[in-house]
Structure 1
């Protein structure tokens, strides 16, 4: 899979958790995962190695959402890692360096128990990027 440009949202996540623990944010403000996000995380999400930072549940999933004008109706939807690999392979076949195509994958952490959710990272794929065997946008992990 191609090497993406990655933007980590870890600092923002830590700030949000710090604000919650300081009483500046309510639980309803940080545990606001809607039905669609929870369902997508349950069906397509990869189990996180870390427990929920709020309720300590092990029911935390990382789910990937894809965005880009080149993927038409798939843009703004949750996708499995295998589907994302197929989209990347289709959009950026070897040698396609002149294309202006771009695909962004948002990886969101979701607790199925309390509804905590936060954007973890954005991976952006562009034509002409180096190919690697690195597992992105999220590392596949076996369910516990």
Structure 2
């Protein structure tokens, strides 16, 4: 599913003089989202639609029952290519984020996988489990 119309509508609302949105409403990225974008984002050849900075990145979040404890994590495009043959079905949500001003918008959502139903991987202990 492509969210281009929703993005375009949000940007058009910001440019309308009679009902313009405040920049705090447009650039409202959570600090954790900004940190993830700085360290895990994949650079895009587009400028930010709000501040025109060249710091626009995409984050690929993966969700699915077959992913087990790995559901909700950020994966690179190369990792998605590998995962496509390792899991039956999972959803990828792509979010664009400007690390300069905080603009963020989900731009697409799609399913990946090979269609073979599998059990989730065994739960591995995490740092939180070990150190509390």
Give the TM bin, normalised by the shorter chain.
Answer: 0.7 to 0.9
2:93 equivalent to 1:106: yes
What CA distance in whole angstroms lies between the structure 2 residues aligned with 1:24 and 1:67?
Answer: 34
What CA distance in whole angstroms lies between the structure 1 residues aligned with 2:43 and 2:66?
Answer: 29
What CA distance in whole angstroms lies between the structure 1 residues aligned with 2:114 and 2:81?
Answer: 14
Q: Assess if the C-alpha contact under 8 Å between 2:85 and 2:113 holds in 1.
A: no
2:44 equivalent to 1:48: yes
Moved over 4 A (4+): none
What CA distance in whole angstroms lies between the structure 1 residues aligned with 2:30 and 2:76?
Answer: 19
Once the two structures are superposed, residues 47-75 of structure 1 have per-residue CA deviations (whole angstroms, 9 ceiling, x without a partner) of 11110000000011011101111101111
**1:125 counterpart (104, 112, 119):** 112
TM-score, L = length of structure 2:
0.78
- Counterpart of 1:9? 3
SS in structure 2 of the partner of residue 8 of structure 1: coil
Structure number with the bigger relative contact order (C-alpha 8 A, sep ≥ 6) is: 1
Once the two structures are superposed, residues 35-94 of structure 1 have per-residue CA deviations (whole angstroms, 9 ceiling, x without a partner) of 221122122211111100000000110111011111011111211222222222211xxx
- Give 5+ residue unaligned stretches, structure 2: 116-132
Which segment is superposed worse, 24-33 or 7-16?
A: 24-33
CA RMSD in angstroms comes to 1.7
Aligned positions, number: 114
CA shift, 1:25, in A, is: 2.2
**1:84 counterpart (74, 80, 84):** 80
What CA distance in whole angstroms lies between the structure 1 residues aligned with 2:101 and 2:95?
Answer: 15
SS in structure 2 of the partner of residue 28 of structure 1: helix
- Give 5+ residue unaligned stretches, structure 1: 1-6, 92-100, 129-144
